[in-house]
Amino acid sequence: MSAQERKGSQRAKAFKRRRSAIGQGGSRWVELIASERLQKRPVPLIMLETVLATAVVLIALRFADPADPMLIGAGFGWVWLVPLVCALRYGLVQGVLSSLVLLGGYYLQAPADARFPLPFFLGGMTLVLIGGQFGDTWGNKLRHMRTVTDYL
């Protein structure tokens, strides 16, 4: 096979991937995020990614605002976006795992005499549970649609 034929074959494959991503209503980012390589990752790797992403955000917030590293005093619980994204991307279990990492981070960083912020954690956990349920439901629907499409 000549270099020009290989290049043409690579272009055809790239076009097919882009066409598939656009058909899903996305762009190049959707192609990257929804690629089969990323969806077929082993569960331990997904769990490690969840824990590391949450830990990195906690460490970054610790350096950004040492007085309130969890942003509990902010008007919105910004730190809960990390478990929400994990729950939407991977499902309920990973969202709960990320939330538990946040809870552990709170206990590691909170002063001994601090009162536990129940509304902050209750509201954030509720948000993550709803997002996780949504992620699981749509993941199952996508799997079913792919199965039907492959059959057709």
Provide the pLDDT for residue 68: 85
H-assigned helices in 80-152: 81-90, 92-109, 118-151
Provide the pLDDT for residue 128: 96
Provide the pLDDT for residue 22: 47
Provide the pLDDT for residue 54: 95
Provide the pLDDT for residue 120: 92
Number of domains, the chain: 2
Give the pLDDT means over successive 10-residue stretches in the chain (152 positions).
63 58 52 55 88 94 87 87 94 94 91 87 95 91 88 84
Q: Tokens 């792919």 label which residue?
A: 146
Range of the domain at 77: 41-151
Q: Which residues contact 139 (CB under 8 A, 6 or more apart)?
A: 91
The verdict on 33 and 81 lying in the same domain is no
The verdict on 13 and 77 lying in the same domain is no
The verdict on 26 and 75 lying in the same domain is no
Q: Which residues of 128-144 are buried (b: 16+ CB within 10 A; e: fewer)?
A: bbebbeebbeeeeeeee
Provide the pLDDT for residue 83: 96
Q: Residue 123 half-sphere exposure, CB side, CA atoms within 13 Å?
A: 12
